[in-house]
Amino acid sequence: MSRKILIVGSGAREHAIAAALSRSPQFPTLYVWGSGENPGMRDLAAATRVGSLTDGKAISEWAKSLGVDLAVIGPEAPLEAGVSDALWSVRIPVVGPKKTLARLESSKSFTRDLLMKHGIAYACPQFRRFDSMEGVAGFLSELGDLYVIKADGLMGGKGVKVAGDHLHTHQEALAWCEELIREGGAFVIEEKMIGEEFSLISFCGGSTLCHTPPVQDHKRAFEGDTGPNTGGMGSYSDADHSLPFLSRSDVEAAQAINAQVAEALFSETGERYKGMLYGGFMATANGIKVVEYNARFGDPECENLLTLIESDLVEGFNAVVEDSLNAQTVRFRRKASVCKYAVPEGYPDRPLKGFRFSIERVRSEGLYLGAVDIKDGVLVGTGSRTVAVVCTGNTLAEAEAKAEREICKIEGPLFHRTDVGTEALIARRVEHMRALRG
Ligand code: AMP
Ligand code: GLY
């Protein structure tokens, strides 16, 4: 009998998950519970339902009524809300950690404390958690100009302010902390690390892991890493399953940290983390450091990875819930990949909404719809990251040239970063790392 798989979420990341699952030789039947109806996912699914992503009761009831035997949760909000717990409680195995483990993403201080307590302090910047202004000025003085202030909860990437970028004086920093306190929030202040960021995501069964190739995302909205932070404007991965500014030992160090974190989570909570374990790392002059952890696939990193995957994703997800992964369970083609996101004019601050656009002329290996609706057969952008275009090649240059050519064929009021994956941008990253490491 064919597997019945529920996907929770309806963005481009979840479209990529649905597309990879639908290529499985097991021909699973797919169901989607989304916050909107993604037209790309609808074409791949037997049934879709629009509802709250955090309503564990409704989601698990629907899944049970369909006879679903495996669920995959894409975004962070349902993880934080305990949707995984609700599904497991009706005996549906889930790729996506339970609430207590999802604190890895939802609480900055939980993660920093975990690293400190379980022998991973070497990958941690200096940090302190505050829920009042007591001691804040003193700690800022200790850190000087190198500090980062993070609200201690899920803020969709918008709760982080970095000295030099968003905050320019201690006075501004103190005012921001006071605002966070007024809003009732705790926050973490940490040492600002200098280096190059990358994501290393592992399929994680709790005690067994299978690492995916590292990917570099681009969080800033505009060319040359300028403008406001976004969910991610595009990302690339390389054919050798490393990145041009990393050594083999850097990649292995990040993999080892993910494995240590999985163990640490078990010691701390007594529960096995089953899902995608996303380490946000920084390569620095003093080695590989942890910037953050996420409890899910990255978006757009997932779009790169699941365009490159060559093994059966159903098998990979099974091995997650059964905790039976090994280094070979999930395999990726030895190709470079470049993902570019087309986003509405005005994104992220004042994005255009309700505009028509067309992808008819685009020919890319991966073409995933994000904040998109369909009206009278025409695609309509709803005001966030709209279409992820992924191309692969033997080299990054080849993948980038294809992705750039194809994304330009989208017709509509959208823009993208032309520099993601380009030789010039990558040369800057490599030079930055060389200068830091001397
Ligand atoms: P986060 O939500 O923790 O990933 O933070 C968002 C972004 O802020 C990261 O992708 C980094 O670019 C930056 N950031 C966060 N923490 C640090 C840190 N300790 N040092 C330097 N940059 C940081
Ligand atoms: N690519 C950044 C994120 O998924 O959080």
pLDDT tens-place string over residues 404-420: 999 999 999 999 999 99
Q: Which domain holds residue 352?
A: 195-432
Quote the pLDDT of residue 152: 84
Question: What CATH number is given to the structural domain containing 38?
Answer: 3.40.50.20
Confidence of residue 160 (pLDDT cuts 50, 70, 90): confident
Question: Which residue among 14, 212, 294 is best mutated to probe the pocket of ligand 2, counting the most ligand atoms within 8 A of its Cβ?
Answer: 294
List the residue whose alpha carbon is closest to atom 3 of ligand 2.
298
* Ligand 2 site residues, Cβ closer than 6 angstroms: 217, 232, 294, 298-299, 301
Q: How far is the CA of 150 from the centre of ligand 2 (A)?
A: 16
User: Do 306 and 391 fall into the same domain?
Assistant: yes
Residue that has been written with the tokens 């905790």 in this structure? 323
Question: What CATH number is given to the structural domain containing 132?
Answer: 3.30.1490.20
**Helix/strand/coil for 433:** helix
Residue that has been written with the tokens 């190059």 in this structure? 196
Is-cis flag, bond preceding 300, omega within 30? yes
Q: Nearest bound ligand to CA 126?
A: 1
Say whether pLDDT at 309 is over 60.
Answer: yes
List the residue whose alpha carbon is closest to atom 3 of ligand 1.
292
Quote the pLDDT of residue 154: 64
pLDDT tens-place string over residues 75-102: 999 999 999 999 999 999 999 999 999 9
**Helix/strand/coil for 234:** strand
User: Do 314 and 253 fall into the same domain?
Assistant: yes
Mean pLDDT of the chain: 96
User: Do 218 and 159 fall into the same domain?
Assistant: no
List the residue whose alpha carbon is closest to atom 19 of ligand 1.
192
Averaged pLDDT for residues 349-357: 98
Quote the pLDDT of residue 157: 54
Q: Nearest bound ligand to CA 299?
A: 2
Least confident piece of the model among 182-186, 319-323, 403-407: 182-186
User: Do 223 and 297 fall into the same domain?
Assistant: yes
Q: How far apart are CA 380 and CA 78, in angstroms?
A: 25
Q: Which atom of ligand 1 is nearest to the CA of 159?
A: 2
Residue 115 lies in a domain: no
User: Do 280 and 294 fall into the same domain?
Assistant: yes
Q: Which atom of ligand 1 is nearest to the CA of 125?
A: 19
User: Do 287 and 399 fall into the same domain?
Assistant: yes
* Ligand 1 site residues, Cβ closer than 6 angstroms: 125, 148, 150, 157, 160, 162, 190, 192-193, 197, 219, 280, 291-292
Q: How far apart are CA 53 and CA 73, in angstroms?
A: 10
CA angle (428, 332, 328) in 5-degree steps: 125
Tokens representing 284 are: 């620095």
Quote the pLDDT of residue 1: 74
| DSSP calls for 310-345 | -S-HHHHHHHHHHT---TTTS-B-S-EEEEEEEEET
Q: How far apart are CA 145 and CA 105, in angstroms?
A: 26
Confidence of residue 338 (pLDDT cuts 50, 70, 90): very high
Q: End of a domain among 191, 221, 237?
A: 191
